[in-house]
Amino acid sequence: MSMLIAGVDTTIVNVALPSIQRTLHAPVSGLQWVVDVYTLVLASFMMLAGSVADRLGRRRVFQTGLAIFVTGSAVCAAAPSLGVLVGARAFQALGGAMLNPVALSIVRNVFEEPRERARAVGIWGAAFGVSLGLGPVVGGILVTTAGWRYVFLVNLPVGLAAILLTAIFVPESRAARARRIDPVGQLLVIIGLATLTYAIIEGQSDGWASATIIALFLLAATAFAALVAYELRRAEPLVEVRFFRSVPFSGAALSAIFAFAAYGAFLFVNTLYLQEARGFSALRAGLYTLPLAASTIIFAPLTGRLVASMGTRRPLMIAAVALSVGALLMTGLSAHTPTWLLMLAYVVFGSGLGLVNPPITNTAISGMPPAQAGVAGAIASSSRQVGSTVGIAVVGAIVGGTSTSFGPRFATASHPGWWMMVSLGVALLVVGALTTTPRALATARATAARLELEPDTAVG
């Protein structure tokens, strides 16, 4: 249930963007911030949330996250201005950051047998895949029938039920040796991600060669370089850089960034295309994406079984091809593109999305010792959010740079954005091919053995 509301909230807002734009008079960059501030905060605080949960108790932190998420959703629904909405989205995401890594840590520590764990992770990943597919459809229905504010209010009953069910069914658990808090590492993560995202989103309006934007890019690069250097010297780092000695783990993180950058960009551009270039209502736009949702929902649960029976390589490669082809079909959009072509693109892209999540998650945590699963899962989850954040920021800069207004011209303006998504799918294919070979898998085993022999890096 937590994955359902967290995943839906990543996508449900996209279909409401034109309505939010009209109500709150938001520019393109403002709409980017409504979506990106959520994924930015998720990416920034997931690893900290995993460490805090290991120390204070996973159930306690999980329930706290649900409560913050529900409260933030209520404030979003009542937001009178764009600034309040963006701030409430950040607060909402702070709660969301406490859900994903904690849930995955519980799953990983309960299921020890590899085949059972693959199935369990498949179900867990499927819930996220289903939520991503349902978001645009549910959002379209709510925006048209009740208004855009209800895309946030829908979280309240689900979140409150999840809090109650957690109290009844989830036992409290803590790590045998909890990680110490890493405030310096956390600050560097926030500085790096926030400055990079701001520079990409605001670069078009401020000017890419402006002193402010150049300084922000340099600050982001400096923060990330300092983060790596600092974390390598810490016994208990926020970001376990040593995990990246495992080629499959590094591949899983890169794959998550590429796949979810493509997906975040796809939803952002497609929503504006349907409602601006085609003039569809939010409901009709949501219903048009039903094939994407259906193919995601169909393939997401099946992929857990595929990973359990054949490993991660083939499902990941097929997913990369599907994402590339789905975006490729959209590169020639016009205001009169045939409906059958849109439907085909949605089905192909949605099947790739359904296939990609379980292999990434399973690869990220399977090579790690059980005590390291929470942090490994948090890094993989953060990679998804980083990908979505950067994907939306970059595609918004590309599309916004070719069209200064909404309307029919948006179809042509979107073409470079679709080609960007094709490139991301190809990059995913290359990374998947290079990081799932027998030689690469050997590095995962070596890394896990090394981590188990280094007690000063043990985490929950």
Q: What pLDDT score does 129 carry?
A: 65
Query: Among 233, 260, 293, which residue terminates a domain?
Result: 233
Place of tokens 């994903």: 100
Closest CA to 97 of 60, 59, 73, 62: 62
350 & 207 share domain: no
pLDDT digits (tens, 9 = 90+) for 87-127: 999 999 899 888 877 877 777 767 777 778 777 777 776 77
Q: What pLDDT score does 403 carry?
A: 45
Residue 460 has pLDDT above 50, yes or no: no
Residues 6+ apart with CB under 8 A from 5: 69, 131, 155, 158, 159, 162
pLDDT digits (tens, 9 = 90+) for 228-273: 899 888 877 777 787 888 888 888 889 999 999 999 899 889 988 9
- The better pLDDT of the pair 301, 245 is held by 245
Gap between the Cα atoms of 138 and 159, Å rounded: 16
Residue 367 has pLDDT above 90, yes or no: no
Gap between the Cα atoms of 454 and 198, Å rounded: 38
Q: What pLDDT score does 69 carry?
A: 94
Residues 6+ apart with CB under 8 A from 154: 8, 12, 138, 142
Query: Among 203, 233, 263, which residue terminates a domain?
Result: 233
The total number of structural domains that make up the chain: 2
Q: Is 174 helix (H, G, I), strand (E, B) or coil?
A: coil
pLDDT digits (tens, 9 = 90+) for 392-441: 888 888 886 544 455 678 888 889 999 999 999 999 999 988 988 888 87
Query: Among 211, 233, 255, which residue terminates a domain?
Result: 233
250 & 189 share domain: no
Closest CA to 114 of 452, 445, 460, 437: 445
Q: What percent of the chain lies above the pLDDT cut of 90?
A: 26
Residues 6+ apart with CB under 8 A from 279: none
248 & 292 share domain: yes
Task: Provide the token pair at 164.
Answer: 């109650």
Range of the domain at 140: 2-182+234-457
Residue 456 has pLDDT above 70, yes or no: no
84 & 223 share domain: no
149 & 251 share domain: yes
What CATH number has the domain bearing residue 388? Answer: 1.20.1250.20
